[in-house]
Structure 1
Amino acid sequence: MSEGQSLGFTPNEMMTIAASRALKNDDVCFVGIGAPSAACNVARLTHAPDITLIYESGTIGTAPEVLPLSIGDGELCDTAVTTVSVPEMFRYWLQGGRISIGFLGAAQLDKFGNINTTVIGDYLHPKTRLPGGGGAPEIATSSKQIYITMAQSKRGMVEKIDFFTSFGRGDGGDHRQRLGIDTAGPTLLITDLAIWKPDPASKEFTVMSLHPGVSREKVQATCGWTVKFAGRLDQTPAPTALELKTLRDLQARTKAAHEGTAKGKSV
């Protein structure tokens, strides 16, 4: 039994830590709120202390002590190296090709990495209105690579998304290039069950590694399309004690701060 398994961990903790491992010390990362933010900050607090984290509100080189509730959270500005205007953020940093990794979540995702965060059902008569794209459509096309994190479910991982919020690889193959988009697009999907990468030719997400204790059957049962598995499947290394402690401490600080019980804050 590995160190992480002996400590015990949840599928979401495994997902966050696996995602954090994909980031490098020299990455410039455009961070989405939620699971992407947690993964990026775990990386910063462990193996990638010099990673540059950028949030949509214009904060550059931010190092939050707690996870932000939104891109407008004061914690981001307070701990940033600098804060620039949103137009400068998008035009100079993002569209200028200075972002190595765009880290996004999804409400709906298809096998080619196309993302929906706009609406479930018909656009004019929806079942659910979602928060929308924000800067994600631009992040998806202008970042050099896109990493995606999400918990697996048939409701979320679907054969056909209801709305194209953020373009991944369209219908697969060279669809991105045919549209004149010269960035790589989605190169990594980390779920609570597995690590996926696009097939070199079709660009369909393929399972490369199963998290500890996860079977092929479980991955397929929580995915809305017929899953392709690599010929040789790896097993994702379990979280280490340091990774788990870093993530849990970050989440505990966040919970205390947002409940108003952090030291120095009134209840």
Structure 2
Amino acid sequence: MDYTLKEMMTIVAAREIRNNDIVFCGTGISMLAAMAAKNINAPQSVIFFETGAIDSKLEDLPLAVGDSRVMYYSSSNGGLLDSFATMQNRVTAKHIVGILGAAQIDIYGNLNSTVIGDYHEPDVRFSGSGGACDVASFVSRSIIFMKQEKRKFKIQLDYLTSPGYLDGPDGREKAGLPEGGPHRVITDMGIMGFDELSKQMFLKGYYPGIIPDKILENMEFEIDTSRAEEVPAPTSNELELLREKCDPHRLIL
């Protein structure tokens, strides 16, 4: 391959972002994916940071959402209150795409970013939700980055931090949550979607050189692979823009 799996994941996520989407992203690969989309396939998308900056002119990749570069030539600068109020406003939230990560995920796209093991005596304790629960609860669709490992794709989460489709098709409605939910799961082996009726995860695509069985080996639960197709490799143009325009110093890549 003339590209890395991290580059593949970033570009696959960027392809999921459309013009006029408002992309709510955090630090790291999610920020890079949002920048890649704006520079490659969705120039009219708007990047939105939880620290309150909207539609910044991102000439350099910020190191974090609190980096002052997220405010450079922005259309608006607010704060946490403004950003989360915008995300929970039903007029704007239906246009927002959230990009998330987690330690564990289940077949309905529910996420755990709090603990591994018992909550009161955990084997590992993570930083917790941050804004992820709000994002998963309120935005119209979310894109989730995960490493393809059996310990991460769990039948039962150790803790539910951020809601996906909860326990099935009407799980969100019963919990009082608005329409929305996880849209894609992007791993270092492939890309998953969620069935429109059952709301269960299915394999949408696998990367060149990866077979669906290899993906299933790295999950605790079974998913439908009948709809899976090979994901096109990054084009030379996509890689050039990602490497030279978005992250020339390889801060994330």
Query: In the alignment, is the contact (CA less than 8 A) between 1:110 and 1:161 conserved in 2?
Result: yes
How far apart are the structure 1 equivalents of 2:27 and 2:174?
31
Partner of 2:11: 17
Does the residue aligned with 1:120 lie in a helix, a strand or coil?
strand
Contact 1:66-1:254 at 8 Å conserved across structures? no
2:78 to 75, 81, 84: 84
Aligned to 1:204: 200
Q: Deviation of residue 105 (structure 1)?
A: 1.3
Is contact 2:60–2:69 with CA below 8 Å preserved after alignment? yes
SS in 2 for 1:45: helix
**Conserved? CA contact 2:102–2:112, under 8 Å:** yes
Where structure 1 has 5 or more consecutive residues not aligned to the other structure, the ranges are 257-267
**TM-fit CA distance, 1:255:** 3.0
Aligned to 1:241: 236
- Equivalent AA in structure 2 for residue 184 of structure 1: G
Is 2:193–2:201's contact at 8 Å kept on the other side of the alignment? yes
SS at match of 1:253: coil
Deviation at 1:135, TM superposition (A): 0.9
- CA shift, 1:245, in A, is 1.7
> Shift of residue 35 of structure 1?
2.0
Aligned letter for 2:228? L
1:57 to 45, 51, 54: 51
Equivalent position of 1:70 in the other structure = 64
Equivalent of 2:183 in 173, 187, 196: 187
Distance 1:132 1:65 in 2: 31
Deviations 1:45-84 (A, max 9, x none): 1121221101111111123233333221111122422211
Cα offset for 1:184?
1.6
Structure 1 CA distance, aligned partners of 2:159 and 2:235?
A: 38
Q: What secondary structure is seen at the aligned counterpart in 2 of 1:228?
A: coil
Structure 2: give runs of 5+ residues left out of the alignment.
none
- State TM-score, norm by structure 1: 0.87
Report whether the alignment pairs 1:95 with 2:94. Answer: no
The CA deviation at 1:204 is 0.9
Contact 1:15 1:191 in 2 (8 A): yes
Alpha-carbon separation, structure 1, partners of 2:172 and 2:102? 19
* Amino acid across the alignment from 1:22: E
Given candidates 224, 231, 255, the residue that maps to 2:220 is 224
Query: 2:102 corresponds to which residue?
Result: 106
Q: Contact 2:26/2:64 (CA < 8 Å) preserved in 1?
A: no
In 2, the alpha carbon distance for the partners of 1:255 and 1:233 equals: 32
Letter of the structure 1 residue corresponding to residue 89 of structure 2? G
Q: How many angstroms apart in 2 are the aligned matches of 1:198 and 1:208?
A: 9
Query: Do the aligned residues in 2 keep the contact of 1:35 with 1:150 (CA within 8 Å)?
Result: no
**Aligned in 2, Cα 1:232/1:134: closer, same or farther, shift over 3 Å?**
closer
TM-superposed deviation, 1:201: 2.1
Say if 2:105 and 2:111, in contact at 8 Å, map to a contact too.
yes
What is the 5 A alignment of 1:117-128?
A: 117-128=113-124
Q: Report the number of matched residues.
A: 248
CA contact (8 A) 2:243 2:250 kept: no
